[in-house]
Structure 1
Amino acid sequence: MDSFTYVLTTNGVLFLISIIFWKFPPKKVNNIYGYRTPKAMQNQEIWNFANSNFNQAFLKYSGFSLLAALLLASITKVALSWEPMVLVALSILVSIIKTERSINDNFTDEGKRKQ
């Protein structure tokens, strides 16, 4: 498979998903769509905060991932194999970690906003 095609089907799809999440965030707490962790699903206020925070981070890091993978595909002479997938995994992982830290910084364990 061509390196650019590989990048577009991994990192490009991730970026497309992040745009969909950003443009169409979930309205209510649900088990199907949105940023769903036990802490994020405690109440509607945390749900809205977590999804907004995650969507912003996910959009930013998936965009960086796509640009980095495209740059890598353009400068390398060999076919890419695992490199774009590492960028995908890092984008998702960093977005989740930043969102969870933000939730913990702004809300108590009981789901109330910190002062």
Structure 2
Amino acid sequence: MENSSEFNEILLSVGFVGMTLIIIGFFLWKYPPKKVNHLYGYRTRSSMKSQERWDHAQAFSAREMIKQGVLLVFLGGVLMLFRDLTLLVSITIFMILLLGSFLVVIARTERSLKDKFK
């Protein structure tokens, strides 16, 4: 049987990604990019249409990143209880949670932009 500590390290990564999202979200919330740019911040075609849209997207997406980060930290802690998962299952769970959290941030921010700027 494979070493179960490997699986725990993979599942522990969920919490590390969550902490990273919290830190990045906090940084973007406190120090948002002031002007529309192609380098830093929440950059989509929709968010870059005007300065007002840009400012809204930066604040909204930063809060969403923090929320998703907190959720991932919590889920990472819960997942650490499951020690007998196979490597494939652990990696699959990690990828689903990672991609899912990013998709949630994007979907909610884009919906907020659409609702606010009809």
TM-score of the aligned structures, taking structure 1 as reference length: 0.79
Counterpart of 1:103 in structure 2 is: 113
Counterpart of 2:17 in structure 1 is: 13
Aligned AA (1:22): F
TM-score of the aligned structures, taking structure 2 as reference length: 0.77
Which runs of 5 or more residues in structure 1 are unaligned? 109-115
Which runs of 5 or more residues in structure 2 are unaligned? none
Aligned pairs for 1:14-53 (under 5 A) are: 14-23=18-27, 24-53=31-60
> Aligned-pair distance for 1:70?
2.6
Counterpart of 1:112 in structure 2 is: none
Q: Identify which of structures 1 and 2 has the higher relative contact order when contacts are C-alpha pairs closer than 8 Å and 6+ apart.
A: 2
- How many residues are treated as equivalent by the alignment? 108
> Aligned-pair distance for 1:11?
4.5
Counterpart of 1:113 in structure 2 is: none
- Aligned-CA RMSD value: 2.0
Indicate the SS of the match to 2:32.
Answer: coil
Aligned AA (1:7): L
Kept in 2, the 8 Å contact 1:41–1:47? The answer is yes
Do structure 1's residue 94 and structure 2's residue 101 form an aligned pair?
no
The percent identity for this pair of structures is 31
Do structure 1's residue 85 and structure 2's residue 89 form an aligned pair?
no
Q: Which moved more, 1:43-52 or 1:11-20?
A: 11-20
Judging by fraction of residues, say which structure has more helix. Answer: 2
- 1:59 is matched with which residue: 63, 66, 69? 66
Closer, same or farther in 2 for the Cα pair 1:26/1:17, shift >3 Å? farther
Q: d(CA) in 1 for partners of 2:40 and 2:11?
A: 25
Q: d(CA) in 1 for partners of 2:75 and 2:55?
A: 30
